Amino acid sequence: MTPPTILILCTGNSCRSHMAEGMLRAAAGDLLNVRSAGSNPAGYVHPLAIKALAEIGIDISTHHSKHMNEFLTQDVETVITVCGNADQACPMFPGQVNRYHWGFEDPAHATGSEDEQMEMFRRVRDEIRRVFEAYAAGRKDGKASF
């Protein structure tokens, strides 16, 4: 059986959605097919997002920025938006059953030295981690009850 696709959306698909994708994929394993995209992709994954996840053992260095329209012809069971703009721009996807909005501050707007910017990336990373690990645990519990 093919695992359900979870699509995590953000506006730029450069930070929050990639961090969430990496964490949910790590937490859910083969249970879910986790992808991310943006309504207005930045064209890159922010280097500090890659660094923040590497600090906790998750490699997103091979990720790339994608437009949400790439998924309009695919079965997407659940759409999770992680920023307000993506929530407003989000279309319905084929097979979509669930839609959640869990907004997080955009660390790409952090200012100051790289160390100061990393503080914000780490804080947002840890917030995303708590939410998406809890979501994965709930999905695993639900799978066990079938």
Select which of 9, 83, 120, 124 is catalytic: 83
Q: Are strands 5-10 and 33-38 parallel, antiparallel or unpaired?
A: parallel
The angle formed by the CA atoms of residues 118, 120 and 121, to the nearest 5 degrees, is 60
Q: Where are the alpha helices (DSSP H) in the chain?
A: 16-28, 47-54, 84-89, 114-144
How far apart CA 29 and CA 25 sit, in angstroms, is: 6
Q: Verify whether residue 83 is a known catalytic residue.
A: yes
Residue 15 is a catalytic residue: no
Region for 134 from its dihedrals, namely left if φ exceeds 0, alpha if ψ lies in -120 to 50, beta otherwise: alpha
CA 37 to chain centre: 8
Q: Evaluate the CA torsion angle 130, 13, 26, 75 in order and state its sign.
A: positive
Catalytic choice (27, 90, 108, 136): 90
Instruction: Given the residues 6, 8, 10, 82, select the one marked as catalytic.
Output: 10
Enumerate the active-site residues. 10, 83, 90
